[in-house]
Structure 1
């Protein structure tokens, strides 16, 4: 059976560290602690004294002063690993943790999971070809030497970097390694740790190289594991659930995140708020519970993006050159049907098409498979359609050889609606408002990935009002946009009212509009 040696890097809060060590070793696992040399002697003494009688805990004897982005973090990890590897011969896995991490599964579940997957879990992506680095320095992390900390000594850090650039003081990466990058929160098998430690002893040149790279805790172990272990034995993922905000800062979890955390396909979560005492208590009890059955929905990241994105209204950048150069053409009419329930708008377009012969295209800016004709490649992806929207519309008018064209659009595409309204042709919008039951909202949450089939009812109950309010917000924003020629049709309206609206929107006789308005099951889910 798997037995885990946790490698804990910490620098504060002695009481929490002691509780974490006691909790994780109570189930037969181990822990090696590196307590930052910058911390006070009193705090270090309190931790060592409190855990002195615990045979499952050791301390890194060589303590270093750690700084974010520095080699000191990797050195601390290696020091703790060396102690753990010697002290715990029965440990089968070594799991990197911080003081802000907490288990979100039981010890029995974690052991069974590792027994079932004889691989190393570590994010490991090619440094130069992957998009893991979103902003900031990239190749400069490696080809230049970094002796100063960018956060504490920014002037010296960037001055040294600029001087190296001016003088051409670049260096080569060790020829026999491929630099990889990924999260520093990994779980590695014993044989892999032994190989990494042995490699570190035999290759001081590689350690010298990484010791002056920037943020080596994201590259050192990621590179060595990929160098020493066959790719088939590596899962390029972390077992620690973590989220980052739009600003690159770790998202903090609080008491009301308990159900969501348990539903994620991870063993630990980072980072737990120090004030979330109830969450810590519940997760601590969970680890010792022996529970092995968890309903996994894994919707955490999508759920966070949805909730954090509500209320943020983006502004478009300057128009692209292809948007300026392409018009839809004089004398043409574009009829846009917006509806959050896509199946309702599709039914209406098909009915209009059958009754009037007007050509219509469904959600071409939302669905990849929108039934578009071959237009020379511009239709192949949604992204390409968005970039060349006006050229696409002109080609559709030409393809159907029609002065009128219907399209469907989601109400959230307000910037696109405003953009098309600024064109020469006569543009009319029919906004179709529907009723949304709780069952429909639950289905929507699953379809768009902010909930899964096993999302706990408590989480879903809190999520539904947010989704409903989001729909209302999109509708209100559209109605408040002052778009000319904007028509509004409600599900609960009488057929006579719907007939009048359709007749005006389509510019067709009222008798023909009546045949469309009374379509059976138009709004059925």
Structure 2
């Protein structure tokens, strides 16, 4: 019967690694762990201490500092592979896994699957003609020298590529090697691993070649296995279920994917979300189950492509949330504080949050940090906020569980103000009218890029009147729009008038309104 030595590449979550190794070895299989040399030494100590008494666990002889796309990932794999080959002489198969892989079949089923055919499972298609690479550089993965990591040193990575192109520097693939490419998740027989390791020892020039290629974990094993094993003993597929988005990123699986995963014709799945604790628990139990039979439907990739495609046009199960109802709703009241001096408006919203139960955020369409709650990624970029402005506000009403919401806008945002004022919701506007002295206008000139550190004072003085007039014009245009529910407070206005304006704007008692407009240094 097959006995599997799992080659486990990890770099984080020591408790999850301990659980994974314990679970996999509980069925008589083995685990060889490589823990990234860049990771916390304390985490590695916890792993080695917890697994010290487990005879089915070994560790790579050398820990490499791994980087995505680098040779270090292959070197780490080889280190763990040699350790497993030496320490587990009864292992018949060697299965490559990562820390976020989980079984989607029982160990019993996995052993029967591997016993059924005397073959290796590794995806291997022609590098140049197979069409496997969808984005990024292709031939230059091999023909250029890759000395820098694209993710850590993007500028140096592409500068090096450009220099080699201009100088005509090209590497040649070894004459007797046919380059192949495929998924880095494979399962190889013992005899294949032994032949491969001997080839590495005998042909150091092959190691040197791959050590300077880009993303060699997708080409090294995929190229060498067909050189040591007859083609009819290779199944060009991965035994691990994984899918990629159009952007080349792995699809992540969550708690509600259990039924989909176990119905795929694979032994393991990548990648499982660290937050999917319920899914991990169920799959962990499944690995040790006996007598379980699986109905294979293999609908995963097709279903993903269909749903992803429908999602792009807003038809994945239901309309997109920002298209279902384009308005804020009659029951909601949006209060807009308009102020050119952002620090003044933010003092007011801070006071509103402190002294009332009304939800208040800051310049959410101008600043990343605007006292927003976590909205699941909808709020991450300013461009996304602008694009789905009303959807964002509906989410805020829902998140705060409130029918009232205060936001801040700059007077230059007349388009936004006009857009919101046309909504069926109750829209109220509070203008904080401020004076623009020379010091403020000079600061504004620098903030908007009209002048730099080395701009002459004479030039700044010449444009001061123009810029001040432009600032004042923004406020005048807002007044000219003649909104029905329009209120004004200012430092030069009578205290009673400010209080009345605040009462009308927020629907708060006179004392609360007075306290708000009397906020210390509000207009400073």
Q: TM (normalized to structure 1)?
A: 0.59
Mapped partners of 1:172, 1:210: distance in 2: 11
> Which residue number in structure 1 is paired with residue 237 of structure 2?
237
Mapped partners of 1:213, 1:310: distance in 2: 38
Secondary structure in 1 matching 2:312: coil
Shift of 1:303: 0.9
Shift of 1:246: 1.5
> Is 1:152 the counterpart of 2:146 in the alignment?
no
Deviation sequence 1:303-332 (CA, Å, 0-9, x none): 111122224239xxxxxxxxxxxxxxxxxx
Mapped partners of 2:258, 2:38: distance in 1: 33
> Which residue number in structure 2 is paired with residue 267 of structure 1?
267
Secondary structure in 2 matching 1:54: coil
> Is 1:16 the counterpart of 2:21 in the alignment?
no
Deviation sequence 1:481-505 (CA, Å, 0-9, x none): xxxxxxxxxxxxxxxxxxxxxxxxx
> Which residue number in structure 2 is paired with residue 47 of structure 1?
47
Secondary structure in 1 matching 2:97: strand
Secondary structure in 1 matching 2:250: coil
Deviation sequence 1:261-314 (CA, Å, 0-9, x none): 010000000000111111000000000001341100000111111122224239
> Which residue number in structure 1 is paired with residue 208 of structure 2?
208
> Which residue number in structure 1 is paired with residue 351 of structure 2?
none
Secondary structure in 2 matching 1:310: helix
> Which residue number in structure 1 is paired with residue 258 of structure 2?
258
Secondary structure in 1 matching 2:115: helix
Mapped partners of 1:128, 1:298: distance in 2: 29
Shift of 1:247: 1.2
Mapped partners of 2:69, 2:253: distance in 1: 24
Q: What are the residue-to-residue correspondences of 1:337-486 with 2, within 5 Å?
A: none
> Which residue number in structure 2 is paired with residue 127 of structure 1?
127
> Which residue number in structure 1 is paired with residue 295 of structure 2?
295
Mapped partners of 2:193, 2:95: distance in 1: 10
Deviation sequence 1:432-464 (CA, Å, 0-9, x none): xxxxxxxxxxxxxxxxxxxxxxxxxxxxxxxxx
Q: What are the residue-to-residue correspondences of 1:270-349 with 2, within 5 Å?
A: 270-313=270-313
Mapped partners of 1:291, 1:218: distance in 2: 36
Shift of 1:54: 0.1
> Which residue number in structure 1 is paired with residue 2 of structure 2?
2
Deviation sequence 1:145-169 (CA, Å, 0-9, x none): 1010011101111111111111111
Shift of 1:255: 0.7
Mapped partners of 1:220, 1:247: distance in 2: 24
Mapped partners of 1:311, 1:34: distance in 2: 39
Shift of 1:171: 1.5
> Which residue number in structure 2 is paired with residue 223 of structure 1?
223
> Is 1:170 the counterpart of 2:177 in the alignment?
no
Structure with greater Cα Rg: 2
Mapped partners of 1:87, 1:260: distance in 2: 36
Deviation sequence 1:174-209 (CA, Å, 0-9, x none): 111101000000000000000110000010000000
Mapped partners of 2:16, 2:108: distance in 1: 23
Mapped partners of 2:116, 2:10: distance in 1: 30
Shift of 1:252: 0.6
Mapped partners of 1:165, 1:245: distance in 2: 31
> Gaps spanning 5+ residues in structure 2: where?
315-524
> Gaps spanning 5+ residues in structure 1: where?
315-525
Mapped partners of 1:291, 1:251: distance in 2: 30
> Which residue number in structure 2 is paired with residue 188 of structure 1?
188
Mapped partners of 1:291, 1:55: distance in 2: 27
> Which residue number in structure 1 is paired with residue 37 of structure 2?
37
Shift of 1:103: 0.1
> Which residue number in structure 1 is paired with residue 63 of structure 2?
63
Mapped partners of 1:54, 1:172: distance in 2: 46
Mapped partners of 1:196, 1:23: distance in 2: 29
Shift of 1:226: 1.1
Shift of 1:227: 1.0
> Which residue number in structure 2 is paired with residue 109 of structure 1?
109
Mapped partners of 2:291, 2:139: distance in 1: 45
Secondary structure in 1 matching 2:9: strand
Mapped partners of 1:169, 1:214: distance in 2: 16
Mapped partners of 1:71, 1:133: distance in 2: 18
CA 1:168 to 1:205, structure 2 compared with 1: closer, same or farther past 3 Å? Answer: same
Shift of 1:241: 0.3
Mapped partners of 1:299, 1:221: distance in 2: 28
Mapped partners of 2:291, 2:58: distance in 1: 28
CA RMSD, 1 decimal: 0.9
Q: TM (normalized to structure 2)?
A: 0.59
Mapped partners of 1:313, 1:278: distance in 2: 31
Moved over 2 A (4+): none
